[in-house]
Each structure stands twice: as structure tokens, then as C-alpha cells.
Amino acid sequence: MTLFVSHSSQDKAAIQDLLKALRDARQHVWVDETLGGGDAWWRTILEEIRGCDVFVFALSNNSIASKPCQAELRYAEALRRPILPVQVGPVDSMRLTPLAETQVIDYRNPTVDSGIQLIEAVHELKDKLEPLPSPLPEEPPVPFAYLMRLGHTLADPELSARQQAELVSELKAGLREDGADPAARRDIARLLSKLRDRPDVTYQARNSIDALLKSVDEEPATAAAAPITVPGAPAEPESGAVTADGADAAPPHAPKVGKSHRPRARWVIAGGAGLAVLIAIVVVAVLLLRPKPGPAPVSLESILLSDAEINSITGTSNMAKTPDNQGKTFKDVSKAVDVSPRWCMGVLYPGADLTYEDSGEKQLDWAALEDSGGWVRAGEGNHHFVDQAVAAFSTRDQALDFVRRSANEWAACDGKTVTATYLDNGRAYTWVVENLTGHAPQITQMYRQQGNVASYACQRVLQAASAYVIDVKVCGDHITDQGSVIAAKMAVKVPKSAGPKF
């Protein structure tokens, strides 16, 4: 019989006891130990899964998070292969695994009993083997196939600025989605380095790549432990030190002539006077150098336009914010909607996590307005929709640089047909993106709903104002440049100081 062992590449050491136990029991084991990647590698794996008698899943946090492992498991289930989960590493919550209802053999610390249990389970499952279904289920796609495609693109002798921006955007999205996988993270870093080192790389692409590579290299920061002060007796003063209460600390080189207490008294008095002068100097310096109090920190919510202002600009009368459509951090858009191509997410959604995460923004506030009657997504029933957001950065340069980088990413979507599929109900909306217009500090882009006879469209506007970034989307059946008007009115409310106070 053939056993297929599915495991994470991070668990190679952890599965050695499992492999030895199976082989010692004269089981024929197939495990991916020498193959590389690509189509041929994946075809071989799928062929071995189809031919196995028992599918052994090496269960751990690593395999649960691994895209290849999960694809292998789903394919084995679709093929009706007997599944044997064997725990080889820590699992945060067994109830949340895809094998929660399947009996799991704990093989983290192998014993004679667990070895017997393992082999007995293999034989029991082998007896339950069913014929392959006919027709065969659809084969899962090659994991991280987009990395191979991008590698082929990078082999081209010439890449336009638009192609480079598209590559950077897709690798950034891949880093967010697949960065937890060590192999994918390494491949993404290699592709970024390969693009950065090209002779035709643009200045903008190089800057974006450097920022991404820095995030690849950095480990999660841990705060350094602060010194701990324990109340108690003061430390014994060094020889010659002046104590706070003028205690018996002998001055250096105390005179040997005259009464012993007189020189000590003079020393303490002189020391006290010197200390007083020093304190006075420090106090004066602090008062002189202390920065003048600046204006109170601005509330980001105060920069957002009111319902009345929005209705006036869009020519509507019943658009309003709702409690569910407001927030004070970037939106987890990537967890709610699948955008294809995914690097165009920032074009469709203001305040999106994929756009603002690791951007350097310090605060973000957003609010969406819609026609009365409850939440309806843009593109549904030609309803009017406005999404406004404002993000605070530490400096003007950071805000301006964010718009510059976004311009490259938006330009990569020029002329693209973009589909947004919502994960809660499977509804999909398809948009045709027009060309980017403008450059930092303000960029705009229109996109229209495909097949909509009412010419339903949305305008996106991104504008740097002082140390803030204004992020707007306005949708409807009569949209021209209302988004720019909204952004301009928001910019008027931005304080003209060097930046927000954090």
C-alpha cells in the first residue's frame, strides 16, 4: 500500500519520527522531499494523491496555514481518499482545524503505544478505501502560481514603468497574503531584488521595492524592557560624593590641619551652592528651550464632510451615514472581498488594509454614506454611494510619498477589467477601470460598471494635504468630478501645521 504524507516544509524535522515508524512497519511512504516547484512538481503531487491508499496529514499550525497542504487535503477529500491526521506540532485550536471531526493521533512524543495506534489506524483506513470518483474532481491550481508568472515576466529584456508598477503591486499583495509561508516569502524577496537590480528600474519602483524588502527582512519588534526601580535604601555614595542631606561623606583631599568638621562644612555648603546654581541653569534652559505649545490635535472626524455637504455636492437629498459604515482604522477589505486583479484593490476601496498597512499612517477615520434604506454595495441597483476617509501621517513628505506610491499602483490598473467578489454572499461586481489622471499631490481615476446601461460609475480621488491624505470614492449614475469637489472641501478643513500631534 502507498501512504501519501502531506506536511509543511517547516515541519521536516518534526515528521522524521512519523516517517520512520511507517517505514519500519513496511509501509510504502511517498513524501515530497526532493521535488522543487512549478507545474511538474504539482502534477506529480496530485498524481501521488490519486494513487495513494491512505492520505496522512502531518497536523500542526504550520500545515494548517500552508496553502499547498490545504490544497492537498481538499483534493484528497474530493477523491474520497481515507484521511489520517497525525499531530506532529503545536495546534492552537483543534476545533478550528478542517479535521476537527476526525480522530487525530498525537505523535509529537512517540511511544510504543502511539506507534501501535498509528499502524492500526493505517490498516483500518486502508480497508475503507473507495474507488476514485468518476469523473475526477477538478485539480487544484498550482500554489503560488503567480510567482512563477511574475518570474517569467521579469525575464523580459525590457519592462515599462507601468509593467514595473504592476509587478511591485502584485508582489506587495502576495507578501501580505502569502508572507507567512517561508518559501513564498523567500521567493517574493528574490523577485523584488531581481526587479530592483534591473538597469531599467524606475526611481519610483526602486523606492517601493526598498520599502517592501525592509518589511520582508524585519522581524516583529519587541519592546525593550525598561529599567525597574525598586524602592529601598539609597545606594552607598562613592568617596567624595555629596549626599542630599549633607551626611558624613568626606570631601576628597580633606585638609589635615585645623578642626576636622570645618572643612567638611565648607565643602557641603559650597557643594549645595553649586548644586543650586546648576539647578537654576537647568531650569532656565528648559524654560527657554521648551517648545511653545502648539494647537490642540485635530480630530480626523472633523475633516470628514457632513451628510448635508455630501448631498449638496452629489445632487441627492437622502444620503446619510450609518453607525455600521464608520470606523477609525483601516478596513479589513481583503478579508471581506476578493478583488481580481488583487493589486487593484486600492483603486476600488478607500481606507483599505492592503493599501494602508505598513504605509506609515498614524491614524485613519472613514465614513460611508448611502441612499436611505440600509446598506447596499456600490453597483447594486444604481444607488448613490460616497466613501470618504482621511489618514494622518507624521510629516508632509510621508503623505506626499504615499500618494506617489499609490499613483504607481493605480496606473497599473489602467484599462483593466476588475472583479470584486464579496465573500459573504458570493455576489460579484465587474468594473472597467479608466486611465489614471493627475499626479501627486492629487490623483483621480474613474471606473464604470460593466454591462450597466445606466452608465453607473465611480470616481476615486487621493489627495495629500499637509501631513494628511484624503481618500474619496463617489458612485452613481451621473458621476463626473464630484469626488474632486468632496476632496477639495475636506482639504480646506485640514490644519496647516507641519503635521498632526501624536
Q: Where in the chain is the domain with CATH 3.40.1000.70?
A: 300-492
Buried b (16+ CB within 10 A) or exposed e, 99-122: beeeebbebbeeeeebbebbeebb
Distance CA 298, CA 490 (A): 13
What pLDDT score was predicted for residue 1? 59
Alpha helices in 87-218 (DSSP H): 112-126, 145-154, 161-178, 182-196, 203-217
pLDDT of res. 215: 80
pLDDT at 300: 86
Cα 490 to Cα 473: distance, rounded to the nearest angstrom: 13
Beta bridge partners of 319: 371
Grid cell in block for residue 101: 471531526
> What is the C-alpha to C-alpha distance for residues 405 and 414, in angstroms, rounded to an integer?
15
Q: How far apart are CA 191 and CA 148, in angstroms?
A: 10
Distance CA 431, CA 446 (A): 10
* Domain 300-492 CATH assignment equals 3.40.50.11890: no
pLDDT in the model for residue 426: 83
Q: How many Cα atoms within 13 Å fall on the side-chain side of residue 492? A: 6
pLDDT for position 240: 35
Superfamily grouping for domain 2-126: Toll/interleukin-1 receptor homology (TIR) domain (3.40.50.10140)
pLDDT string in tens for the chain (502-residue length): 589 999 998 898 999 999 999 999 999 999 987 555 667 889 999 999 999 999 999 999 999 988 899 999 999 999 999 999 999 999 988 777 778 788 899 999 999 999 999 999 999 999 999 999 999 999 998 888 888 889 889 989 899 989 999 999 999 988 888 887 877 888 899 899 999 999 888 988 899 998 888 887 764 333 333 332 333 333 333 333 333 333 333 434 433 434 344 444 444 444 554 544 444 454 444 444 554 444 445 688 899 999 999 999 999 888 888 766 777 676 777 778 888 887 788 899 988 877 887 778 888 888 888 876 555 666 676 788 899 999 999 888 888 888 988 888 898 889 999 999 888 778 888 999 999 999 889 999 999 988 876 678 999 999 999 999 999 999 988 888 999 999 999 999 988 754 565 5
Residues 6+ apart with CB under 8 A from 415: 432, 433, 434, 435
Residue 404 and residue 395: Cα distance in Å, rounded?
15
pLDDT at 266: 43
What is the pTM assigned to this prediction? 0.49
Among 414, 329, 402, 397, which Cα is nearest to 363's?
A: 329
Interval 448-470: pLDDT, tens: 988 876 678 999 999 999 999 99
CATH 3.40.50.10140 domain locations along the chain: 2-126
pLDDT for the residue 284: 44
Q: Which three cell numbers stand for residue 343?
A: 493589486
Cell of 437: 489622471
The pLDDT tens digits for 257-303 are 343 444 444 444 445 545 444 444 544 444 445 544 444 456 888 99
pLDDT at res. 263: 44
